[in-house]
């Protein structure tokens, strides 16, 4: 027999948001409705502090919907649950049928019953005891452990139905997408910047991306790699415009006119200024980079002080306090790692100095910058911008 199942989601910090709470809730419901369409027809609604995702026919792809729900920011817990009528006979029959497969291989369990319908004839402890009995008699070898069970079985008796589930998986956490303004991510092909973008999206930011290339020193394939990364990020950020600016002439001018030790920091100044200009044009109110303190010469405190001083906008660096291995864990979680490690060149790796300045003095950097026609180079680079839009699936609107 096919067991009727639904997906139940718990919201996170959204519930703390006072007057804004309703906006947050409705934006989450909307996002889930948009994201559900490739998986079939689902009824999605919010009731009694739970988001319900109910398949409307047998064609619905529950596994796909479940994976999608786990990528939606603002949701802290995702479960599949069996649905049955609100009477003890049905609940016990469903527990007998549904739970043995879910509890296979587990050694210990406890039952946690919740009864939001207070007219239900049994109390929560009585429901727990009855369902505990059913499990002990149908799942061979399993024992009760109320303190640290392998799995918690939850029985919820709600307004319309009863729901039975085993365990709970964490959701993506954070706040709903687009609830915290828009930020411009400086997206390279590396491991760190996709993670930085996802981390800020997790705090509710709408992410727009800017990539710098240096054709022919960087290749078409390097650009494609960045576009693939942007597509992969869309599993979490849903939609992203990716702007691409060519730094070829800027880099050639720096190479021809400036002292080698300053190549990297000068390039970064151009990147930051062009990013700020892009941000202002596209209504972004922060820049986001994947920098991590001390990771390379351009990420020392002194170098960051210089690059920060050339823009008038907040610069978010969510990876700043993370070690590389911690960033890698996040990159795997967000699904960008395997693409990030493909070996293509980045504009930061062409014309790299042998001895980059790790403690650049701002006056020295500005003296080098004065050797260039900065405004003309910025205008020229900005005019090379092209834009592609990436979506989690083609019909996402």
Residues that bind ligand ATP (CB under 6 A): 186-188, 190-193, 210-212, 289-291, 295-296, 298-299, 346-348
Residue 171 binds to Mg ion (criterion: CB under 5 A): no
Q: How far is the CB of 380 from Mg ion (least distance, A)?
A: 23
Q: Measured between alpha carbons, how far is 73 from 68 in angstroms, rounded to an integer? A: 11
Residue 194 binds to Mg ion (criterion: CB under 5 A): no
Q: Residue 194 corresponds to which tokens in the numbers above? A: 């996709």
Among Mg ion, ligand ATP, none, the one that 211 touches (CB under a kind-dependent 5 to 8 A) is ligand ATP
Residue 255 phi/psi, 5° resolution?
A: -60, -40
Q: How far is the CB of 303 from Mg ion (least distance, A)?
A: 14
> Taking Cα atoms as reference points, which of 100, 289, 263, 273 lies closest to residue 184?
289
Q: How far is the CB of 291 from ligand ATP (least distance, A)?
A: 5
Choose the binding region for Mg ion from 77-85, 188-196, 256-264, 306-314 (rule: CB under 5 A): 188-196
Identity of the residue, 155 or 288, whose beta carbon is nearer to Mg ion in the bound complex:
288
Q: How far is the CB of 178 from ligand ATP (least distance, A)?
A: 21
What does the per-residue mask of binding to Mg ion show for 324-363, with x meaning CB under 5 A?
----------------------x-----------------
Q: How far is the CB of 328 from ligand ATP (least distance, A)?
A: 10
| Partner residues linked to 358 by β-bridges | none
Among Mg ion, ligand ATP, none, the one that 295 touches (CB under a kind-dependent 5 to 8 A) is ligand ATP
Residue nearest ligand ATP by beta-carbon distance: 190
Identity of the residue, 134 or 195, whose beta carbon is nearer to ligand ATP in the bound complex:
195
Identity of the residue, 68 or 289, whose beta carbon is nearer to ligand ATP in the bound complex:
289
Identity of the residue, 93 or 329, whose beta carbon is nearer to ligand ATP in the bound complex:
329
Identity of the residue, 22 or 387, whose beta carbon is nearer to ligand ATP in the bound complex:
387
Q: Residue 323 corresponds to which tokens in the numbers above? A: 């070690």
Residue 179 binds to Mg ion (criterion: CB under 5 A): no
Among Mg ion, ligand ATP, none, the one that 31 touches (CB under a kind-dependent 5 to 8 A) is none
Q: Measured between alpha carbons, how far is 169 from 184 in angstroms, rounded to an integer? A: 31
Identity of the residue, 343 or 394, whose beta carbon is nearer to ligand ATP in the bound complex:
343
Residue 190 binds to Mg ion (criterion: CB under 5 A): yes
Identity of the residue, 343 or 394, whose beta carbon is nearer to Mg ion in the bound complex:
343
Identity of the residue, 78 or 210, whose beta carbon is nearer to ligand ATP in the bound complex:
210
Q: Which of 68, 128, 188, 246 is close enough to bind Mg ion by CB under 5 A?
A: 188
User: Is residue 162 a contact partner of residue 144, using CB atoms and an 8 Å limit?
Assistant: no
Residue 27 binds to Mg ion (criterion: CB under 5 A): no
Neighbours of 103 (CB within 10 A): 21
Binding residues vs Mg ion (CB under 5 A): 188, 190, 346
């Amino acid at each position: 027999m096919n067991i009727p199942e639904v997906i139940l989601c718990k919201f996170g910090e959204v519930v703390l948001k006072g007057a804004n709470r309703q906006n947050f809730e409705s934006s989450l419901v909307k996002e889930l409705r948009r994201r559900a369409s490739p998986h079939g027809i689902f009824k999605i609604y919010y009731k009694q502090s739970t988001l319900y995702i109910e398949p409307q026919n047998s064609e619905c792809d529950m596994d796909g919907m479940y994976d999608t729900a786990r990528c939606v920011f603002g949701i802290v817990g995702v479960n599949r649950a069996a649905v049955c009528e609100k009477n003890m006979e049905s609940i016990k029959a469903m527990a007998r049928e549904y739970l043995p497969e879910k509890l296979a291989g587990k050694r210990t369990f406890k039952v946690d019953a919740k009864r939001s319908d207070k007219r239900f004839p049994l109390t929560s402890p009585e429901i727990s005891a009855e369902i505990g009995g059913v499990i002990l008699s149908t799942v061979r070898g399993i024992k009760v452990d109320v303190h640290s069970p392998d799995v918690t079985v939850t029985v919820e008796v709600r307004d319309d139905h009863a729901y039975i589930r085993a365990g709970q998986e964490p959701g993506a956490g954070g706040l709903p997408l687009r609830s915290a303004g828009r930020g411009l991510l400086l997206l390279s092909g590396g491991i760190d910047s996709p993670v930085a973008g996802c981390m800020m999206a997790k705090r509710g930011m709408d992410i727009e991306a800017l990539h710098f290339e240096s054709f022919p020193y960087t290749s078409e394939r390097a650009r494609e790699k960045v576009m693939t990364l942007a597509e992969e990020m869309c599993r979490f950020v849903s939609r992203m415009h990716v702007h691409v600016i060519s730094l070829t002439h800027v880099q050639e001018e720096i190479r021809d006119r400036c002292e080698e030790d300053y190549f990297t920091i000068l390039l970064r100044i151009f990147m930051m200024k062009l990013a700020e200009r892009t941000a202002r044009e596209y209504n972004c109110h922060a820049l986001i980079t994947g920098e991590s303190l001390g990771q390379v010469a351009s990420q020392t405190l002194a170098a960051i002080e210089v690059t920060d001083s050339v823009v008038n906008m907040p610069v978010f660096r969510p990876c700043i306090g993370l070690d590389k291995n911690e960033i890698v864990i996040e990159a795997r979680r967000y699904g960008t790692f395997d693409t990030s490690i493909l070996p293509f060149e980045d504009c930061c790796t062409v014309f790299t100095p042998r001895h980059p300045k790790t403690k650049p003095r701002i006056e020295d950097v500005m003296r080098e910058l004065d050797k260039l026609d900065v405004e003309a180079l910025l205008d020229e680079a900005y005019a090379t911008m092209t834009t592609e839009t990436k979506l989690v699936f083609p019909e996402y609107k």
